[in-house]
Each structure stands twice: as structure tokens, then as C-alpha cells.
Amino acid sequence: MEQFPACQGTTGWSEVFKADIVFCCIGTTKAKTPDKETYKKIDYGIPVAAASLAKQNGIDTFLVISAMGANPKSSTFYNKVKGEMERDVLQQAIKNTYIFKPSLIGGEREEERWGERMAQIAFKYLGFLVPKKYKMIEPDTIAKAMRNVAINGHSDSKIESDEILKLSN
């Protein structure tokens, strides 16, 4: 596991990092965090540090949001960071680890994200042409699925968008 400041010194937090279940839903955007090192500290460093603390403290259920297309060997920075995060969270070997891999996440945003907004509009009106696995998914759908998996478990550690939708009911 690479060491980033967000991953270092987690022992200082160990005393207060107590729970039965950890939900890690942190993430940033290129627009909000254009510096790649800072971006990686957030999208990789925080989830991996949280998983490390969960492991240290015997928390046996860890759920994290990643992204469809995450791959540590990707040439796309975003997908590579998410893939590395997935890999290193899984290396913690927490008994019940679940990685949620949604497609485009819908919802309102504070900032203007032109490309994402265009994709949301296209999905809204042309969604019938898009396979279920790639359809836009709402944040509350992801939250409901995470809650249900936290309570009931799931047979797979990686859960993609179409399965997230099913698990939200």
C-alpha cells in the first residue's frame, strides 16, 4: 500500500475509531481538486486509512463507494486511483468488505459540472437505450443498497450499478 499523509498516523485515531460498521462515501472531483496528489489523498488515502483503522479495531463490516471502471492498471487517472483504492481496501482483509461501483451518480450539485450535466440529461431522455448496468443512479439508491448490504450481507464484495439498484429495494 502506498503511503499518503491520509494513511499515515492512523494509530492516533485508533482510540476513537469505534463502530460496528463503517460506511465510506468520500470522493472529490477534478473541478474541486485539480491537483492530482491532493485528489489521490482524498479518493485513495481516506478510504484506505479508514479500512486500516477498521481492521485495527476489529470492525468487521466496511462498505465503500468506488466507481464503475475502476482498475489499478487503467490509463485514466480517475479509474486508476479508484482501482488502487479498491485493491488496497481489499488487502486489509476485513471480513465483510463491500465495494459499490456505481455508474454516473445523479443528483443536484453545488458546482457546475458541464460534462456530467450533459450526461445526466442524455441519460434522462435516452436512458431506454442504455443497458441497466450503465444507467445513471441516484445517491439515495446507493445509500439504501449500502444499508441493506450492511444488514444482510451480499455474496460478492464488488457490487456494480445494476445490482446496486436491485439491492436498494
**Phi/psi zone of residue 32: left (φ > 0), alpha (ψ -120 to 50 degrees), beta?**
alpha
- Report yes or no: 157 and 99 within 8 Å, Cβ to Cβ: yes
Residue 128, domain extent = 10-167
* 3 assigned to some structural domain: no
> What digits encode the pLDDT tens for the residues 44-90?
999 999 999 999 999 999 999 999 999 999 999 999 999 999 999 99
Task: Using 50 as the pLDDT threshold, list the residues of the chain that sit under it.
Answer: 1-5
pLDDT of residue 64: 98
pLDDT of residue 166: 96
pLDDT of residue 2: 47
* Residue located via cell numbers 471480513: 95
* Number of domains present in the structure of the chain: 1
* 62 assigned to some structural domain: yes
This prediction's pTM: 0.84
* 113 assigned to some structural domain: yes
* 163 assigned to some structural domain: yes
CATH code assigned at 27: 3.40.50.720
* 5 assigned to some structural domain: no
Task: Name the grid cell of 28.
Answer: 472529490
* 56 assigned to some structural domain: yes
Which residues have a Cβ under 8 Å from the Cβ of 1 and sit 6 or more positions away?
Answer: 7, 48, 88, 91
